[in-house]
Structure 1
Amino acid sequence: MSSRPSTPGKELPPILIVDDDPGQRSLLTAFLRSQGFETLAAASGEEALRVLGQRAIGLMISDVRMPGLTGLETLRLARREHPTLPVLLVTAYADIREAVVAMRDGAVNYLSKPIDLDELLSSVQRAVGVTDGAPVRVSADRELPASVVARSPTMQALFRDAALIASSESRVLITGESGVGKEVLADLIHGWSPRSAAPLMKVNCAAIPENLLESELFGHERGAFTGAAQQRIGRFEAACGGTIFLDEIAEMTPQLQAKLLRVTQEGQFQRVGSNVDQVANVRLLAATNRNLEEEVRKGRFREDLYYRLNVVELNIPPLRERREDILPLAGHFLEQFTRGRARLSPGTVERIEHYSWPGNVRELRNAMERAALLSGGELILPDHLPARVKESGQAAAGAGGGGVPVPGSVPVRLEDLEQQAILEALQKHAFNRTEAAKALGISRRTLLYKLHHLRETGHRVDPE
């Protein structure tokens, strides 16, 4: 049976992907091919028009802002010769005026980067007339290693997205609070990628002094600065053929951001003290625990670099938003520290479940290591937990198991308060999921999961 999507009695022509960014072209090509679509790629509007003149195309997906012909200009010119061609426009610079013009000129949809893969697939299926509306497919060989625990639907969906984009060359921005596991996700993406046999070089931009970070990344020539007694290659050269992971990317100085921008645009850099260009044959993954959009607004992070890095954003939700993972993770860590000999008492389980874990997975791991040492590797009691964890559980128990007591009234459940906040955010932001998630301070993926639950219980979560 063919894996290609189809409508009854109809073979689909290829999808033409138009983008000047090789990473974005690679992402869309790899994803759509994994879903059974045939694709062609063009690096400019001019090249796209030549392809359209040579063969039948079922759908054109084009970036809006490109050198030469823009996406809107390409759309208008394509419409002259191919008036029924479906066109899907994508852009990092969301502009309602451009969107209105694009829809007027015949675009079937207008998506913002970073692209949501579910939304992209749904738009493509509608545009080409796929009737079954099949969900996203993931290759069967993308299995999580035993060291990675993901019981919650939000984390399973996150790793599904990681598996879908791993085979591409696209840059990935991994976001989330400190301790959620951004480095673990980077390891997975590299391990699932065609570059897995080559090195994965990791650089914590916050841990290296500002005056040494440039040399660490790009290398230096002998005599480039005091103490440079010999030539040294940097991490970008050492990672040749593989992947480089830049953690805490927001800590980079503006001067170094400019040099990293050149790497993302041209694939080249220079060692400190040299005028010779070096080719960067690496895939770039970046991570931060800051809100980069806010950093851009405050002038601390380059807007152009932000959009170059943010081809795909994978946001890892904090542990308090995926409570289904807490006990499995605790058990996993105890297995490591006690070789399976320790178990949690009921009182310990209650306290672990009630604690908010502001330090996320890292804090949970440290707490389990401490408990394993104090217990001697047998039964883990509440007294073996850090004081803040133990006290949090006692406070929750005294409050009646998680409710919020209101003087003179019936206690309100946290679940009801959360539900009310979500519905109010949706109404306020005209059912825009992305804006509602920002207002609530949660990831879009987490919001979509919660909306699915609310929809099943009869609440209105979709626009009429």
Structure 2
Amino acid sequence: MTTPATILIVDDEKHTREGLRLSLEDDFDVYVAGNSAEAMEILKGDPVDVMLTDLRLGGESGMDLIGQALKLSHPPICIMMTAYGSVDTAVEAMKRGAYDFVTKPLNLDEVEILIKRALRSRTLEKENSELKRQVEKKFSIEGILGQSEVMKPVFEVIEQVAPTKATVLIEGESGTGKELVAKAIHHLSGRPAAKLVTVHCAALAANVLESELFGHEKGSFTGATERRIGRFELADGGTLFLDEIGEIDANIQIKLLRALGEHTIERVGGNKPIKVEVRLVAATNKDLWKLVQEGKFREDLYYRLRVVQVKLPPLRERKSDIPLLADAFLHELAKANGKPFKPLSDEALQALLAYSWPGNVRELRTALEHGIVMCNSPRVGLKHLPGYLLHARPALASGSSAVAVSGPAGEGGAHGSAALGDDLNLEKMERALIEEALRRTGDNRTEAAEVLGLSRRTLQRKLKEMNRVKKIRRQGD
């Protein structure tokens, strides 16, 4: 059974408040008060859904009461009652945060309708707020943004594995956000006080990396003038993130295997086992299994690392996320550079969607920083983005009109390689691109929209327009 809404009636005239109470108490829990002090005592005691207050409460003002009520942690919906109905009164009531106002003498049916409308409005607000919270949770985990189908399993694995102690292997191209995933796993682990220690394995020579990971004793090698505590010990009780794990040499692989299996390490030059409890998260932009088959990576270590696997898709496979990412980056980068936020123009967004992004999300962020810094217009336009994006066009799979946009200078020419046919009719190219996407997805419009980096609604609109043009042309033949 639904709990009835709570109504507070505040009026210094007893017959008015009692008349309202009798009229409303069949549908609502009704409280009454004759002045501001009584009203505030009730409001501070139990949450009230709707407060109806007279404009004049003896020598007090109903406007002031509304101001006090709206400062509470659970403010009521406020409706003003006044015998002095005027536009000025209504405007002032709204400025103070009132939902609406009614004039005396009161029409009780109208009052009840207004209360129910106000309650529906509050319910809708709560539902929208909850929906927004759920959407934000769905599209973002600890700074990782994505609404595409390929990102859903990534979010699911992160949420599932984070509270455990399982070792995680994150695989993906450079720039896809592997370190963000590692941070998310750590922050969602339920150990907020524990440390997250990061080591970029590719940046260190083998002998330096060994000391960095396991530490060393004084005098263990030339230059070891004092004992050094390694990253394993520093991360004890927390998370150790090893980025580019595929770069470590055979000797370190053996020591790492022992650390994972026995939860002990030995410092370089030492012989005393040191107990460590570390949650290991590793990442690589290489195919570790291929390295195993080539004899460059230990198979037993591979399986130790890959207890749980997270595969991050490249940006070219999740282009429907680009508008979401772009908006977030533009807000962040505008603030970081002391610039006002400016949205993307439609032309600039289309260029971002057309480009192949070999540098993935990292490259997108860099391009948008260039745009926000160089922008002197209300919107970040194509001309404000890096030069190589000026030539970005939708890439067709095959055929004489195919367009392939590559990367910036150094990745296929001064502005990226492009193979263009003789027919540069934009309408035909767009139609061919849509038809190819539908062919590849077996006419699944949702998947085709995903491939094209469009919303399903936009694709539907474009298909309707294409059919309309075909029909007109047939009629003209």
* TM norm. shorter chain > 0.5: yes
State the alpha-carbon separation in 2 of the partners of residues 149 and 290 from structure 1. 23
**1:341–1:377 Cα contact (<8 Å) kept:** no
State the alpha-carbon separation in 2 of the partners of residues 372 and 238 from structure 1. 39
The one of the two structures with greater contact order (alpha-carbon pairs below 8 A, sep at least 6) is 1
CA shift, 1:194, in A, is 3.1
Task: Look up the match of 1:307.
Answer: 303
1:152 partnered with 2:174: no
State the alpha-carbon separation in 2 of the partners of residues 285 and 142 from structure 1. 23
Listed as ranges, the gaps of 5+ residues in structure 1 are 1-137, 423-445, 448-464
> TM-score under structure 2 normalisation?
0.55
Task: Look up the match of 1:267.
Answer: 263
Cα distance change, pair 417–262 in 1 and its aligned pair in 2 (3 A): farther
**2:354–2:395 Cα contact (<8 Å) kept:** no
Cα-Cα RMSD: 3.3
CA shift, 1:252, in A, is 0.2
Seq. identity, % = 42
CA shift, 1:149, in A, is 1.5
Amino acid at match of 1:273: G
CA shift, 1:268, in A, is 1.0
CA shift, 1:168, in A, is 1.0
1:251 partnered with 2:273: no
State the alpha-carbon separation in 2 of the partners of residues 286 and 236 from structure 1. 13
Task: Look up the match of 1:204.
Answer: 200
State the alpha-carbon separation in 2 of the partners of residues 329 and 143 from structure 1. 10
**1:204–1:247 Cα contact (<8 Å) kept:** yes
1:232 partnered with 2:228: yes
CA shift, 1:386, in A, is 1.6
CA shift, 1:145, in A, is 4.9
State the alpha-carbon separation in 2 of the partners of residues 352 and 177 from structure 1. 19
What pairs up with 1:5-404 in 2 under 5 angstroms?
A: 144-145=140-141, 147-339=143-335, 341-376=341-376, 378-393=378-393
**2:144–2:181 Cα contact (<8 Å) kept:** no
**2:351–2:392 Cα contact (<8 Å) kept:** yes
Structure (1 or 2) with the larger CA radius of gyration: 2
State the alpha-carbon separation in 2 of the partners of residues 361 and 377 from structure 1. 25
Cα distance change, pair 142–242 in 1 and its aligned pair in 2 (3 A): farther
Match of 1:419 among 436, 441, 465: 441
CA shift, 1:323, in A, is 1.3
Deviations 1:117-141 (A, max 9, x none): xxxxxxxxxxxxxxxxxxxxx9x99
Cα distance change, pair 199–142 in 1 and its aligned pair in 2 (3 A): farther
Task: Look up the match of 1:85.
Answer: none
Amino acid at match of 1:230: E
CA shift, 1:161, in A, is 1.4
The worse-fitting range, judged by mean Cα deviation, of 154-163 and 229-238 is 154-163
Deviations 1:188-239 (A, max 9, x none): 1001113332100000100112220000000000011111111010000001
State the alpha-carbon separation in 1 of the partners of residues 369 and 359 from structure 2. 15
SS state of the match for residue 287, structure 1?
strand
CA shift, 1:157, in A, is 2.5
Amino acid at match of 2:314: P
State the alpha-carbon separation in 2 of the partners of residues 306 and 327 from structure 1. 36
Listed as ranges, the gaps of 5+ residues in structure 2 are 1-133, 405-418, 445-449, 452-477
CA shift, 1:390, in A, is 1.9
Cα distance change, pair 400–302 in 1 and its aligned pair in 2 (3 A): closer
> TM-score under structure 1 normalisation?
0.56
**2:394–2:403 Cα contact (<8 Å) kept:** no
State the alpha-carbon separation in 1 of the partners of residues 394 and 310 from structure 2. 35
Deviations 1:281-308 (A, max 9, x none): 1000000010111000111111110011
SS state of the match for residue 203, structure 2?
coil
